[in-house]
């Protein structure tokens, strides 16, 4: 697999308009010399739905994320953990979230995080969520890989199955699709001072995935991780980042940008 070149560009926080969206599609076409336009993946994490004091705010971020998916014509949305603040999220909130996910036309990959792990009582086993056909929950609906044959894309990750420590990026599978994305919810180790934490993600583990992109969750601020050998980014939470990451996968190219959300300041 050709080593991808990638860039990390913060898009202006202005409201996207239709003309700008057309430009984006044109860019994707030209990058692949008129072949099939590249895949567009939206990535966010740490929505913590159910963790707010004001009921009206519960789903505002999820709505904004799904708007961004539409604006960017993303093929797949990755939610990299802690979508729900707790597995005891009140049922009316779960129902509303499920309705929003169901109404979205995009396919959605969810990785259970440390707040919403895939226990026997996880929120993701509730019928309200299980009934949503376009949502694929790693560790619940599927094993560790979600395959999208029409996109020639695999999304691999290790779900938090309980509340204990685990290695989010251990034992990556060999690539079987043209495009491979890894998703992980944990703490990137920047140095020895991080080693006491849980759910550690090391440079050598990021490099060993040989993925085109690693969608990281658990940190609230958007930032890159790893030594640069594989593009790995935290999206940050919609609350603090006020953006989602938009990843364009072409033939041998990976482009990562932040896309502004329409959320209250």
Using CB under 5 A as the binding rule, whether residue 218 contacts Mn ion is answered as: yes
Using CB under 5 A as the binding rule, whether residue 87 contacts Mn ion is answered as: no
End-to-end C-alpha distance for the chain, whole angstroms: 42
Binding piece for Mn ion, criterion CB under 5 A, among 80-88, 136-144, 159-167, 252-260: 80-88
* Beta carbon nearer to Mn ion, 108 or 184: 184
- Cβ 155 vs Cβ 78: under 8 Å: yes
Q: What's the closest the beta carbon of residue 186 comes to Mn ion, in angstroms?
A: 8
- Residues ≥6 apart with Cβ < 8 Å to 2: 252
* Diameter over CA atoms, the chain: 50
Binding footprint of Mn ion, residue count (CB under 5 A): 4
| Gap between the Cα atoms of 184 and 6, Å rounded | 19
Ordered DSSP codes for 8-22: EEEPPSSPP-HHHHH
* Beta carbon nearer to Mn ion, 38 or 186: 186
| Gap between the Cα atoms of 245 and 265, Å rounded | 19
* Beta carbon nearer to Mn ion, 71 or 82: 82
Using CB under 5 A as the binding rule, whether residue 237 contacts Mn ion is answered as: no
Q: What's the closest the beta carbon of residue 134 comes to Mn ion, in angstroms?
A: 24
* Beta carbon nearer to Mn ion, 47 or 108: 47
Chain positions contacting Mn ion, by CB under 5 A: 82, 113-114, 218
């Amino acid at each position: 697999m050709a080593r991808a070149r990638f860039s990390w560009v913060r898009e202006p926080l202005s409201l996207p308009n239709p003309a700008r969206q057309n430009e984006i599609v044109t860019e994707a076409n030209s990058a692949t010399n008129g072949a099939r336009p590249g895949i567009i993946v939206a990535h966010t994490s740490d929505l913590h739905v159910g963790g707010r004091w004001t009921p009206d705010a519960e789903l505002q971020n999820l709505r904004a994320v799904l708007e961004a998916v539409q604006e960017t014509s993303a093929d797949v949305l990755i939610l990299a953990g802690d979508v729900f603040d707790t597995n005891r999220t009140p049922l009316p909130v779960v129902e509303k979230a499920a309705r929003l996910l169901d109404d979205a036309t995009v396919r959605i990959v969810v990785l259970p995080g440390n707040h919403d792990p895939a226990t026997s009582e996880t929120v993701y086993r509730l019928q309200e969520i299980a009934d949503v056909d376009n949502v694929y929950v790693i560790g619940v609906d599927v094993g560790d890989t979600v395959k999208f044959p029409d996109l020639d894309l695999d999304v691999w990750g290790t779900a938090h199955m309980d509340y204990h420590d685990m290695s989010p990026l251990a034992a990556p599978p060999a690539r079987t699709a043209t495009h491979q994305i890894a998703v992980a919810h944990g703490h990137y180790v920047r140095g020895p001072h991080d080693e006491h934490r849980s759910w550690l993600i090391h440079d050598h583990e990021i490099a060993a995935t040989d993925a085109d992109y690693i969608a990281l969750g658990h940190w609230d601020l958007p930032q890159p991780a790893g030594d640069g050998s594989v593009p790995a980014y935290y999206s940050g939470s919609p609350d603090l980042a006020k953006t989602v990451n938009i990843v364009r996968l072409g033939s041998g190219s990976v482009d990562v940008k932040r896309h502004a959300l329409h959320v209250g300041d």
